[in-house]
Amino acid sequence: MYFPAFYLILIHYETYKDPMNQHFSKLFLHWFGLIFLAYLGLITVQHLVIMPIETIMVERNVALVSLLYLPHAVRVLAAWMVGPKSILALIPASICVYFVTRPDTGPLTQADFIIPMVGALCAPVAFELMRFVRIDVYPKSTGVISWRTLVFAGLLSSIINSFFSTLFLEGRFPIEDTFDVITRFIIGDVMGLVIVLLLLVGVLKAFRRFTSV
């Protein structure tokens, strides 16, 4: 599939592959702000809209894991578009969101610092693992986007996130809920990614129609 708007964006950020250049600081501030604000925006939607609905429908462990986690889309798209250095924006965004939305008011533990780090690193690590086995998901100069491969990268990053997050969340939910928590981690992350991708594709198609008029 070809999307001219996407192609222009890809050409703009393709410089992440190059060594330090004179535009690095400007590009860094641009992408840092975009990723950070997108993450905060979707987490706001998560807590104001999705979480209240889930609380009514699911009730158990809603504060720990969601069946529709939109911010995972930011992790995946940031890692896809900016590459490994997306962690420079994802880590502070993830830590900030974690401590602002942290339901437990007890003393901080080591897990409170590890869990947001896992969330921030899962997507960049997944993309690099895929590239290591010669599945290069990163955008090409041709402008062709493999949506299936991108969603698979989101799934892999979710598996990494669910395993390590659940490991460090031990004790915060009944042991018999472990499988349920892991499953909801994966479903929520992948569904959040798919929903955001569908919305983006719809917006891009509408933009194409508008500009072609």
- pLDDT-derived band at 28, boundaries 50, 70, 90: low
pLDDT at 190: 93
Of the candidates 73, 14, 79, the one whose C-alpha atom is nearest the C-alpha of residue 39 is: 73
pLDDT at 51: 85
How far is C-alpha 139 from the geometric centre of its chain's CA atoms? Answer: 17
How far is C-alpha 160 from the geometric centre of its chain's CA atoms? Answer: 12
Question: Is the pLDDT reported for residue 5 higher than 50?
Answer: no
Helix ranges, the chain (H): 4-13, 24-45, 51-57, 71-82, 87-101, 110-132, 147-168, 178-212
Instruction: For the chain, list the domains and their CATH numbers.
Output: 4-212 (1.10.1760)
Mean pLDDT, the chain, rounded, equals 80
More confident residue, 134 or 106: 134
Question: Is the pLDDT reported for residue 26 higher than 80?
Answer: no
More confident residue, 53 or 104: 53
Task: Give the model confidence (pLDDT) of 33-49 as tens digits.
Answer: 889 999 999 999 988 89
Pairwise CA distance, residues 127 & 79, whole Å: 7
Question: Is the pLDDT reported for residue 156 higher than 50?
Answer: yes
Of the candidates 173, 68, 65, the one whose C-alpha atom is nearest the C-alpha of residue 119 is: 65
What average pLDDT does this structure show over 188-198?
Answer: 93
